[in-house]
């Protein structure tokens, strides 16, 4: 009888230690997931990027103007969080030597001409639009626009 009670005590201690180890592993996994979370799921990143990806490639002036308005409206909605904003990098200024220099701006009105004649001229141009994504999150953070000659 004495051996049976000792066996039950040992079995209970083993079950209790397994329970404590399992609880410790569960808490560790929960903490590791919380530390590695970027705050956005893959679906949210895809939804964020899809708004801008439609404009990637060779586009006409009117499509680039629409992209600029989209970016401006997006940035106005995210004015409190700079990390959520998207920048536009222009490569359209040409100096006397024919070299182009980059202009960093997020102003959609840069492409919107003041007069109807300028609007028709700019609408005739084509542009190459490229997207730069953040390596850690995969979100688009910069859009490059270069005027084709």
Q: The tokens of 94 are what?
A: 């040409």
Domain positions in the chain are 1-37, 42-147
Single out the residue of 142, 123, 148 nearest to residue 58, CA to CA: 148
Return the H-helix or E-strand segment holding 145. Answer: strand 140-147
- Reading the block at residue 111, the tokens are 């492409």
In 78-129, which residue ranges form alpha helices assigned H by DSSP?
116-124
d(CA 111, CA 127): 11
Q: Which two tokens stand for residue 46?
A: 């895809």
Q: What does the pLDDT profile of the chain (149 residues) look like in tens digits?
A: 788 889 999 999 999 999 999 999 999 888 877 665 556 677 888 888 888 888 899 988 888 888 888 988 888 888 888 778 888 888 755 444 444 443 333 344 444 444 555 555 666 788 899 999 888 888 888 998 888 86
């Amino acid at each position: 009888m004495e051996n049976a009670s000792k066996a039950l005590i040992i079995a209970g201690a083993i079950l209790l230690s397994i329970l404590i180890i399992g609880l410790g592993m569960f808490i560790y996994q929960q903490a590791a997931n919380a530390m590695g979370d970027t705050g956005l799921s893959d679906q949210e990143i895809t939804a964020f990027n899809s708004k801008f990806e439609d404009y990637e490639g060779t586009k006409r002036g009117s499509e680039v103007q629409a992209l600029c308005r989209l970016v401006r409206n997006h940035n106005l909605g995210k004015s409190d969080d700079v990390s959520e904003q998207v920048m536009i990098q222009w490569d359209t200024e040409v100096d006397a030597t024919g070299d182009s220099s980059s202009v960093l701006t997020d102003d959609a009105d840069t492409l919107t001409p003041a007069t109807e004649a300028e609007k028709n001229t700019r609408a005739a141009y084509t542009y190459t639009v490229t997207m730069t994504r953040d390596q850690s999150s995969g979100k688009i953070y910069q859009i490059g626009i270069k005027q084709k000659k």
